[in-house]
Amino acid sequence: MTTTTSTILESITVPADHGRAIPDAATRETIGHAPVHDPAHLDTLVRRARSAQPAWAALGHEERSRVLNAIATEIEASAEELAVILSREQGKPLDGPNARFEIGAAAVWTRSAADIPLEPEVVVDDGGQRAEVHHDPLGVVAAIGPWNWPVMIAVWQIAPALRMGNTVVLKPSEYTPLSVLALAEVYNRHLPEGVLSVIVADRGIGSALTKHPDVDKIMFTGSTATGRRIVEASASNLARLTLELGGNDAGIVLPGADVAAIADDLFWGIFINTGQTCAALKRLYVHDSVYDEVVDALAERARTMPMGNGLVPGNVLGPLQNQQQFDIVSRLVEDARAAGGRVVAGGEPAPELGPLFYRATVVADVEDGTSLVDEEQFGPAIPVLRYHEVDDAVRRANASEQGLGASVWSADRDEALAVAKRLAAGTVWINKHGTLDPRVPFGGTKASGYGQEFGVAGLKAVAAPKVIAY
């Protein structure tokens, strides 16, 4: 088992009688104690952010970018320490596309936010007049993150906000505060006081943050239900919104697909982070001609992929992060079984590994209308649905109220492109699923939210456009 002494962990935790115990996701042993903040502390942090913002903005893009690049280097230097904290708290293993990968991505996205150019846009220049669009800071950004990719998603929120001259008050999920506190500790080695603060508290404080009169922008990643409440709350302060909400992503495997060629990418599109990913593949529609082959390929990988404590080398699947999510996955799989679904792999907890482990599960012969198909499972269970006509598969894939991502799997690129254009989702991948690039905009449609992150679009989303005409 990999271990490391963490000076970062020591610096961010508080004495037991002054904080809340945070459990190791795999063992449920206490990692440390997180601070518990109250409404008065929230007001103090927002006031400090408001006070610090003009000087931070006055540094200009070049200096702010220099600072962010220095932070990215600091993240890389602290990578193993951060990865161990993340692995223990969230549950994802160090190995595979998991904890070390997430910390590496945090550095990459920080650098990207620093380095992407954003010049004034000339929209009219006809000899008689000229009009330019500039992008000014908004002010104070409230960033509210989830527990599944707590470090990487925090960076998606704070790095572009800081680059554009805003200050940030960040609220992590109550399930994963230590990972985010550790990230902020590294960031704040290079930032002026008040530019980035973390409020650690329950959802009530999160609600107060979104309604705060001194908040100018809200960035939220989480459930659709919470997103709707944030929209209502923002009416009081007219804060701008970027909402990345739930996803029930569909994949369509077309006839003629080379199953051997796509099987590994298909598996990881579903089971990355043990299925606890907003843009993971959640419903898989497979043409009858390759249906059995796809089911068998996924089941074989599900049965043999190493699962266990994230600090043990070689494990690449971990536990569910919390009891609530474990119960949701268990319920949905049992509902699918009761509805006639054929469990070909998994379908049960793995108590010998720990209390929140659930075996990677493949359920065949299910239909639309089954809870496992219609609800976002956010865990290691995939329903595989049979279809005969591509038009029917597209209709069924688009039937969800959510539209975060989707994917098409085919040996024929032109055919895949034609189907991709018909799918209602913010991103449609071909022969892959959930792969993100800091240069490429990302966001959802329908009930999966609105606004975009990453790239130039992500910088503009945390800025106020201002037209200068002369």
414 by Cβ neighbours in 10 Å (0-12 / 13-18 / 19+) ranks as: exposed
Whether 446 and 401 have beta carbons less than 8 Å apart is answered as yes
In degrees and rounded to multiples of 5, residue 430 shows phi and psi of -120, 125
Strands (E), 354-462: 361-364, 381-387, 402-403, 405-409, 427-430, 445-446, 449-450
- pLDDT tens per residue, range 77-95: 999 999 999 999 999 999 9
Where are the domains positioned within the chain? 7-245+448-469, 249-430
pLDDT of 125 reads: 96
- In which band, very low, low, confident or very high, does the pLDDT at 202 lie, cut at 50, 70 and 90? confident
Q: What is the mean pLDDT of residues 251-260?
A: 98
Whether 45 and 51 have beta carbons less than 8 Å apart is answered as no
CA-CA distance, 211 to 184, in Å (whole number)?
Answer: 23
> Known catalytic residue: 62?
no
- pLDDT tens per residue, range 385-435: 999 999 999 999 999 999 999 999 999 999 999 999 999 999 999 999 999
Q: Is the pLDDT of residue 44 over 60?
A: yes
DSSP lists the bridge partners of residue 140 as 167
Pick the catalytic residue: 102, 185, 244, 453? 244
pLDDT of 297 reads: 98
- Least confident stretch, 132-136, 223-227, 313-317, 320-324: 223-227
Please state the pTM of the whole predicted model. 0.96
- pLDDT tens per residue, range 318-345: 999 999 999 999 999 999 999 999 999 9
- pLDDT tens per residue, range 154-168: 999 999 999 999 999
- In which band, very low, low, confident or very high, does the pLDDT at 204 lie, cut at 50, 70 and 90? confident
Q: Which CATH superfamily is domain 249-430 in?
A: Aldehyde Dehydrogenase; Chain A, domain 2 (3.40.309.10)
- pLDDT tens per residue, range 374-385: 999 999 999 999
Q: What is the mean pLDDT of residues 127-152?
A: 97
Q: Is the pLDDT of residue 3 over 60?
A: no
Q: Which CATH superfamily is domain 7-245+448-469 in?
A: Aldehyde Dehydrogenase; Chain A, domain 1 (3.40.605.10)
Q: Is the pLDDT of residue 139 over 70?
A: yes
Q: Is the pLDDT of residue 112 over 90?
A: yes
Q: What angle do CA 356, 449, 366 make, to 5 degrees?
A: 50
> Known catalytic residue: 244?
yes
pLDDT of 6 reads: 74
Pick the catalytic residue: 81, 89, 174, 278? 278
Distances (CA, A) of 401 to 224, 247, 392, 398, 455: 10, 9, 17, 8, 27
- In which band, very low, low, confident or very high, does the pLDDT at 1 lie, cut at 50, 70 and 90? low
Q: What is the mean pLDDT of residues 286-310?
A: 98
| Closest to 26 (Cα-Cα) out of 327, 382, 317, 378 | 317
pLDDT of 203 reads: 80
DSSP lists the bridge partners of residue 467 as 133
Whether 118 and 71 have beta carbons less than 8 Å apart is answered as no
